[in-house]
A = this chain, B = another copy of it.
């Protein structure tokens, strides 16, 4: 991969090196110029290759966008499931696990997150259906954890699903404002967002 391209969390160990370079280059160029402002030629050039090679690996710019958003959600869902597996049975701990994983992924992959948030409208129907389905999986996890805390009477929110959406949206938004090297480091943001999320669900230990 050319050193000019920042690696992306969206690449996988078994990606062919050229495919990985194209994915990282797509993240880099689309994060700045948007999907419609980025050409196949731009992505190929940033990856140090040609449009023909991009088409060989991804068929189209649309297919490449679907790959970015789909893999981004895979990363998010996997991190959240792993955190939940490690959490105990306590609802507060489970909410903390989901919030920590969700915030953590959005802090570590800000460019990928912002592309994911702004380019759903650029997906054609098949890709959009896939991405929306996976986004809903993550949303259902927040809802399940909040509902469980309400059922066990340690969360007192009267509107669990709305509160789950409120909290998940706030957690996603860190990708938009967080500045690495700024006044708050990642673990501090995660700790504070966990505490605020517990307040938001009306946690009464």
Contact = CB atoms under 8 A, between A and B. Distances in A.
Contact of A195 (B159, B176, B192, B199): B159
Interface residues of A, number: 37
B195 A158 contact: yes
Contact of A36 (B33, B156, B162, B172): B33
Given A31-B121, A162-B189, A169-B176, 17 more contacts: A33-B36, A34-B34, A37-B37, A114-B121, A117-B117, A156-B199, A157-B196, A158-B195, A159-B192, A159-B196, A162-B196, A169-B169, A169-B170, A169-B172, A172-B173, A196-B200, A199-B202
Q: Is the interface of A mostly helix, strand, loop or mixed?
A: helix
A165 interface: yes
A35 interface: yes
Contacts of A201: 199
Interface of A: 31-38, 114, 117-118, 121-122, 156-159, 162-163, 165-167, 169-170, 172-173, 176-177, 189, 192-193, 195-196, 199-202
A35 B118 CA distance: 11
A201 to B, nearest CB: 7
A146 to B, nearest CB: 11
B121 A34 contact: yes
Given A37-B34, A118-B117, A199-B200, A166 B159 contact: no
Nearest to A202: B199
A109 to B, nearest CB: 16
Nearest to A200: B200
**Most central of A156, A165, A193 by chain B CB within 10 Å:** A165
Contact of A162 (B33, B35, B118, B193): B193
